[in-house]
Structure 1
Amino acid sequence: MDHLFAYGTLMCEDIMEEVAGCRLTSEPGILRGYRRRRVKGQLYPGIAPEAGQAVEGVVYRHVPDSAWLRLDRFEGPMYVRRLVEVESTDGRRERAFAYVVRHSFLDRLGEEDWDFATFLREGKMRFRETYEGYSRWA
């Protein structure tokens, strides 16, 4: 499987291109049965299974092997790449990988949901300047 469901900072095409090392095509998608929450003290989110919840994001298509290596390093040990089923805006379902918070790191998730519009408005610039993960894949 070579698609990626992104639900946080990687929804920004410029950040995704930097991390993946290439430009990818994308379309909106929804991941049901998961909840997106802000990581405590951070500008980025994590997702974990939660019945009755849904996460809006984007599906990046045909991610090359070289990009997966960079993405794994960027996401780090807190996340595991998991195969999930994503729904497109027209109701079509397909499988894609998503980076899900590992069970041993769930205590790092805050109670508040993470909002993409707020991130774009208030946090993206700071994230790009300060996120330590960039040094792992640059």
Structure 2
Amino acid sequence: MKPISARLLHANSTNSGQLGQSSEGTSKLFVYGTLLLDDVISTLIDRIPHREDATLPGWWVARLPHKVYPGLVPGQGETRGKVFTDLTGAEWAILDAFEDPAYALTAVRVMLPVETEAFAYRWDGKYVNQGWSITDFSRDELADYLDRCRRWRRLYEQRSQ
């Protein structure tokens, strides 16, 4: 996986999900799955970033085979989520390192309520044709997932020294 700075140069500015030219000028990140949860994001970057409610048309949040976290895939309808508006370069690097290699950072157009550009981690792997539920995840998987996030963050810090 390329580091965030290199990957940003290849993200486009449409909902097409295709890689293209740079989308300079935006540092917003649209989140739709586990990163919506304060416990998860604060475990990873040591704070809860400023965020705004957002809607992403033309995408949906799918269950992934053998994974507890979801993937964002093109499709009918819209996805509700949040946009982080104040991530630092170091925080982008942490999130980029954390995300599964099957995600591709993609520029998308979100409604905040006005349309604006943000990046999102799009899933490029196989998925189940069924929606993912943050309620079910929080009830059934969150405690174990937070333990995994804590272990991952410790390893990340050790490797970064």
Aligned partner of 1:35 among 56, 60, 63 = 60
Look at both structures and tell me which one has the larger radius of gyration over its CA atoms: 2
CA contact (8 A) 1:7 1:55 kept: yes
- 1:128 deviates by 1.6
Unaligned runs of 5+ in 1: none
| Structure 1 length-normalised TM | 0.84
Return structure 1 stretches of 4+ with deviation > 3 angstroms.
130-133, 135-138
1:95 aligns with 2:117: yes
CA contact (8 A) 2:44 2:149 kept: no
**Aligned-residue CA RMSD in angstroms?**
2.0
Letter in 1 for 2:137: F
CA contact (8 A) 1:19 1:137 kept: no
- 1:132 deviates by 9.7
Q: Deviations over 1:37-78 (max 9, x none)?
A: 11112110001111x221111111121111111111100311
Q: How many residue pairs were aligned?
A: 131
| Structure 2 length-normalised TM | 0.73
CA contact (8 A) 1:2 1:96 kept: yes
Letter in 1 for 2:102: M
1:20 aligns with 2:41: no
Aligned partner of 1:55 among 64, 79, 82 = 79
Aligned partner of 1:114 among 132, 135, 139 = 132
Distance 1:131 1:38, change over 3 A: farther
Letter in 1 for 2:144: R
For residues 66 and 134 of structure 1, what CA distance do their matches in structure 2 show? 16
Structure of greater relative contact order (alpha carbons < 8 Å, 6+ residues apart):
1
